[in-house]
């Protein structure tokens, strides 16, 4: 077999691998172009806490559309506070308990046109002024909502709250990707809770694994095989609290 043929076949294999690496998530539906992967990840961090990610500062007044009888008014400007870490809102983990708001999730927007989602972020139900979210912020957030959601029902067992991951693989990923900053026990970062203490909230861990921590050096694993994140969460759930 000639070197030319071998080289062509190798390039073909690499092309397939690249396509698979860029293929979308359980929540999207179409392939995500490589050039917007960083936009999606940043959008995920904005969904977490936009005023930290973009350094705009937390608004002094509560979000006017946040329910008056809800319990977390101080966090009412965070997207996740109404729509949840599992993106299911009233139909998910935030359907009951202290975090309940009765507001629907964003799962129905997965795969929708990003421009249409961006317009919603400026409507009366999302009173984000340009001093809060710039046009770039809105674009990134819309890209995340459209193309960056994971389907919690597919990766998390709801009754047990356990990630549907491989523990052995998750330990390897954790020790090589995460332990340098978080420590082998998940307690090295003292500015936040021990990772093991978040075991009951796998969607939170997975969201941050895929997208990173707002305005922090934590890497986003979004460009890797999505199952790596699920395996990681499964292992993190075994760490001591």
Q: Which residues are within 8 A (CB) of 209 and not within 5 positions of it... i.e. 6 or more apart?
A: 221, 229, 232, 233
pTM, entire model: 0.86
pLDDT digits (tens, 9 = 90+) for 18-74: 443 444 444 444 455 666 999 999 999 999 999 999 999 999 999 999 999 999 999
Nearest to 220 by CA among 24, 35, 42, 16: 42
The two three-digit tokens of residue 157, written as one number: 């067992």
pLDDT digits (tens, 9 = 90+) for 108-119: 999 999 999 999
Distance CA 166, CA 124 (A): 43
Contact call for residues 108 and 125 (beta carbons, < 8 A): no
3-class secondary structure, 104: strand
Q: Would you say residue 8 lies in a domain?
A: no
CA 108, 30, 224, 215 torsion: positive or negative?
Answer: negative
Q: Would you say residue 202 lies in a domain?
A: yes
Q: Would you say residue 3 lies in a domain?
A: no
Question: Does residue 4 or residue 90 have the better pLDDT?
Answer: 90
pLDDT digits (tens, 9 = 90+) for 117-175: 999 999 999 999 999 999 999 999 999 999 999 999 999 999 999 999 999 999 999 99
DSSP at 33: P
Q: 166 and 84, same structural domain?
A: no
Task: Give the range of the structural domain holding residue 191, as residue numbers without chain letter.
Answer: 152-236
Q: 40 and 67, same structural domain?
A: yes
Q: 184 and 93, same structural domain?
A: no
Q: 181 and 128, same structural domain?
A: no
Task: Give residue for tokens 């919690």.
Answer: 152
Q: 95 and 62, same structural domain?
A: yes
Identify the CATH number of the domain in which residue 206 sits: 1.10.760.10
Report the domain count for the chain. Answer: 2
Contact call for residues 47 and 39 (beta carbons, < 8 A): no
Q: Would you say residue 84 lies in a domain?
A: yes
Can you give the pLDDT at residue 33? 67
């Amino acid at each position: 077999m000639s070197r030319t043929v071998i080289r062509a076949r190798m390039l073909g294999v690499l092309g397939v691998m690249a396509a698979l690496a860029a293929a979308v998530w359980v929540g999207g539906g179409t392939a995500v172009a490589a050039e917007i992967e960083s936009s999606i990840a940043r959008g995920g961090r904005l969904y977490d806490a936009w005023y930290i990610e973009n350094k705009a500062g937390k608004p002094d007044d509560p979000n006017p559309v946040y329910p008056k009888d809800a319990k977390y008014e101080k966090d009412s400007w965070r997207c996740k506070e109404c729509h949840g870490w599992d993106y299911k809102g009233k139909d998910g983990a935030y359907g009951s308990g202290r975090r309940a708001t009765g507001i629907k999730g964003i799962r129905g927007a997965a795969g929708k046109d990003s421009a249409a989602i961006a317009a919603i972020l400026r409507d009366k139900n999302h009173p984000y002024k340009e001093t809060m979210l710039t046009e770039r912020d809105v674009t990134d957030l819309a890209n995340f909502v459209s193309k960056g959601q994971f389907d919690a029902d597919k990766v998390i067992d709801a009754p047990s709250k356990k990630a549907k991951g491989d523990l052995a693989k998750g330990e390897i990923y954790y020790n090589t990707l995460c332990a340098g900053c978080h420590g082998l026990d998940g307690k090295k970062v003292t500015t936040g809770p021990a990772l093991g203490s978040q075991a009951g909230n796998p969607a939170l861990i997975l969201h941050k694994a895929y997208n990173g921590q707002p305005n922090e050096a934590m890497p986003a694993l979004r460009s890797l095989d999505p199952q790596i994140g699920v395996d990681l969460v499964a292992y993190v759930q075994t760490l001591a609290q």
